[in-house]
């Protein structure tokens, strides 16, 4: 990885999943997503497009058992790729936020590339599944991403009734907020922290 080419690749293989993922933080929103879970593919495509990240995901998992392992492990792999692509985080804006509406739904996502994993997740309780995709897996993906990328991540649904719309607003807002946080600001000299490390 160089400062001009913030691209990383991660291979993650367990007894439950086999994932190959490539991420470019300075892309144009191109993606090739194959997880075997159509709705999750759709969400990752939205994340890529709205964050202007180039993202390739080839994941094989035990989806005949449950979607949980694949969704969580893709989150872990993506988080590891973010960490790897950012390097020492020199020159980044560090913070990013986005509000995204999707019809009646409104999501707010706020990101700090702090090196301190934390997820605050405020959504309505008992949201229905989206086809065969349990809405709970959105939180599992976000937690895994936060842990491996070292993100302080605040995700809130401020309005919404339709599960698909709420999930879509979250993934779009996540892409836009993370894009701002990882973007480089020529005014930032070194690490954007008074501690000198993130």
Q: Give the mean pLDDT of 173-181.
A: 98
Q: In the chain, what percentage of residues exceed pLDDT 70? A: 98
Q: Would residue 71 count as lying in a domain?
A: yes
Residue 116 has pLDDT above 80, yes or no: yes
Q: Give the mean pLDDT of 22-47.
A: 98
Contacts of residue 136, defined as CB under 8 A and 6 or more positions apart, other chains included, come to: none
Tell me whether strands 152-159 and 105-112 are parallel, antiparallel or unpaired.
antiparallel
Q: Would residue 127 count as lying in a domain?
A: yes
Q: Which residues pair with 130 in a beta bridge?
A: 133
- Domain enclosing residue 164, as ranges: 7-182
Looking at residue 4, its pLDDT comes to 61
The answer to whether residues 24 and 85 touch, using CB atoms and an 8 Å cutoff, is yes
* Tens-place pLDDT, residues 83-111: 999 999 999 999 999 999 999 999 999 99
Distance, in Å, from the CA atom of 19 to the CA atom of 2, rounded to the nearest integer, reads 24
* Tens-place pLDDT, residues 38-91: 999 999 999 999 999 999 999 999 999 999 999 999 999 999 999 999 999 999
Confidence of residue 195 (pLDDT cuts 50, 70, 90): confident
Residue 2 has pLDDT above 60, yes or no: no
Confidence of residue 172 (pLDDT cuts 50, 70, 90): very high
Q: Would residue 197 count as lying in a domain?
A: no
Q: Would residue 193 count as lying in a domain?
A: no
Q: Would residue 145 count as lying in a domain?
A: yes
Query: CATH code at 83?
Result: 3.30.230.40
Contacts of residue 163, defined as CB under 8 A and 6 or more positions apart, other chains included, come to: 127, 128, 129, 130, 135
- Phi and psi dihedrals of 102, rounded to 5? -140, 95
Q: Would residue 198 count as lying in a domain?
A: no
Q: Would residue 189 count as lying in a domain?
A: no
Q: Which residues pair with 19 in a beta bridge?
A: 12, 59
Residue 1 has pLDDT above 60, yes or no: no
* Tens-place pLDDT, residues 134-158: 999 999 999 999 999 999 999 999 9
Domain count, the chain: 1
Distance, in Å, from the CA atom of 15 to the CA atom of 25, rounded to the nearest integer, reads 29
Looking at residue 124, its pLDDT comes to 96
Residue 3 has pLDDT above 60, yes or no: no
Q: What is the residue-averaged pLDDT of the chain?
A: 96
Looking at residue 194, its pLDDT comes to 80
Q: Would residue 195 count as lying in a domain?
A: no
Closest CA relative to residue 91, chosen from 198, 191, 194: 191
């Amino acid at each position: 990885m160089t400062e001009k080419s913030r691209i990383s690749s991660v291979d993650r293989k367990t007894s439950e999943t086999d994932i190959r993922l490539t991420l470019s933080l300075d892309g144009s929103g191109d993606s090739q997503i194959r997880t075997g879970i159509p709705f999750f593919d759709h969400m990752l495509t939205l994340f890529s497009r709205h964050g202007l990240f180039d993202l390739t995901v080839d994941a094989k998992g035990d989806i005949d058992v449950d979607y949980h392992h694949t969704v969580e492990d893709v989150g872990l792999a993506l988080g590891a790729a973010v960490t790897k692509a950012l390097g020492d985080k020199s020159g980044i804006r560090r913070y990013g936020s986005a509000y995204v509406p999707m019809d009646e739904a409104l999501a707010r996502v706020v990101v700090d590339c702090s090196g301190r994993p934390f997820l605050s997740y405020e959504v309505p309780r008992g949201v229905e599944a989206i086809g065969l995709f349990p809405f709970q897996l959105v939180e599992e993906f976000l937690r895994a991403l936060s842990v491996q990328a070292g993100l302080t991540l605040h995700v809130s649904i401020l309005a919404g009734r339709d599960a698909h719309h709420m999930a879509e607003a979250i993934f779009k807002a996540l892409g836009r907020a993370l894009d701002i946080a990882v973007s480089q600001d020529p005014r930032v000299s070194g690490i954007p922290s008074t501690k000198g490390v993130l």
